[in-house]
């Protein structure tokens, strides 16, 4: 989505009514740009905007208007915070801000990125540091970030099992949550995820995590580089739900 399309969508969203909160809003971040420089990546948000997001989420949490809870919490309403891919700025920028407000969050890590030594992503030392911080849940984002629904069953098992095992070895904690790389999943993939030992899995499908939904098919809300705190608040209130027909 480019800027003019976003501005049009924002205008249309501002005219939508607030949705009665049936279900929980699970928001999906990727990377935080610590320098606040311009980026062409829609999934990289500036630190300044993220600070405002945290302030908004903390305000709702403290006033109990919308509690921020772990993804695994049975609470049927509120907000859960997730990060995909395991960028190093999840530790160096996001975690410090969220932990200072006692807001829980999940980080879904692509295991191969840890092994490859790409500095954009968490390394072993950083992953261990992150998992020891309060209110942090480490989950899997696959081993090699493949489109799981395109793979045969045995390769899906290998992708999920290898990632789970490596993350558990490094963190010393059970890994029971995941998000599907590229949002690629189907009934076969979610069934194999359960077989491997995952209890919760986040998708890239837009929507609220409503009671009765399969916990291995949790919808989320995209956060984009253009999103200021007003836009995030609109998304939390369901004003952007119309867009799920197009994303």
CA dist., res. 178 & res. 140, Å (int)? 4
Domains located in the chain, CATH noted: 21-239 (3.20.20.370)
What pLDDT is attached to residue 21? 62
What DSSP letter does each residue of 98-154 carry, written as one string?
HHHTT--EEEEE-HHHHHHT-TTB--HHHHHHHHTSTTEEEEE--SS---GGGS-HH
What pLDDT is attached to residue 20? 60
- Indicate the SS3 state at residue 43: coil
What pLDDT is attached to residue 39? 74
Q: Please name every residue paired with 218 in a beta bridge, in sequence order, or none if there are none.
A: 202
What pLDDT is attached to residue 3? 63
Question: pTM here?
Answer: 0.93
Digit-by-digit pLDDT tens for the chain (247 residues) are 666 567 666 667 676 767 666 799 999 999 999 887 777 799 999 999 999 999 999 999 999 889 999 999 998 999 999 999 999 999 999 999 999 999 999 999 999 999 998 999 999 999 999 999 999 999 999 999 999 999 999 999 999 999 999 999 999 999 999 999 999 999 999 999 999 999 999 999 999 999 999 999 999 999 999 999 999 999 999 998 888 877 6
Residue 105, CB half-sphere, CA atoms under 13 Å: how many? 29
């Amino acid at each position: 989505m480019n800027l003019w399309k976003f501005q049009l969508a924002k205008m249309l969203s501002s005219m939508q009514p607030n949705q009665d909160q049936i279900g929980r809003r699970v928001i999906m971040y990727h990377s935080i740009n610590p320098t606040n420089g311009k980026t062409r990546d829609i999934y990289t948000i500036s630190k300044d905007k993220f600070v405002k997001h945290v302030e908004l989420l903390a305000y709702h949490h403290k006033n109990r208007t919308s509690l921020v809870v772990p993804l695994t919490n049975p609470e049927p309403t509120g907000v859960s915070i997730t990060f995909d891919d395991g960028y190093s700025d999840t530790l160096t920028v996001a975690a410090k801000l969220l932990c200072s407000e006692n807001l829980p969050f999940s980080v879904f890590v692509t295991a191969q990125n840890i092994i490859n030594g790409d500095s954009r992503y968490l390394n072993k030392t950083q992953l261990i540091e992150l998992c020891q911080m309060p209110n942090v849940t480490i989950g899997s984002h696959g081993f090699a970030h493949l489109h799981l629904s395109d793979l045969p069953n045995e390769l899906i098992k290998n992708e999920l099992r290898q990632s789970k095992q490596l993350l558990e070895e490094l963190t010393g904690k059970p890994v029971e949550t995941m998000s599907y790389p590229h949002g690629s999943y189907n009934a076969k993939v979610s069934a194999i995820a359960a077989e491997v030992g995952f209890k919760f899995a986040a998708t890239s499908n837009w929507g609220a995590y409503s009671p009765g939904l399969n916990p291995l098919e949790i919808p989320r809300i995209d956060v984009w580089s253009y999103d200021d705190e007003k836009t995030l608040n609109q998304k939390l209130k369901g004003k952007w739900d119309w867009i799920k027909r197009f994303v």
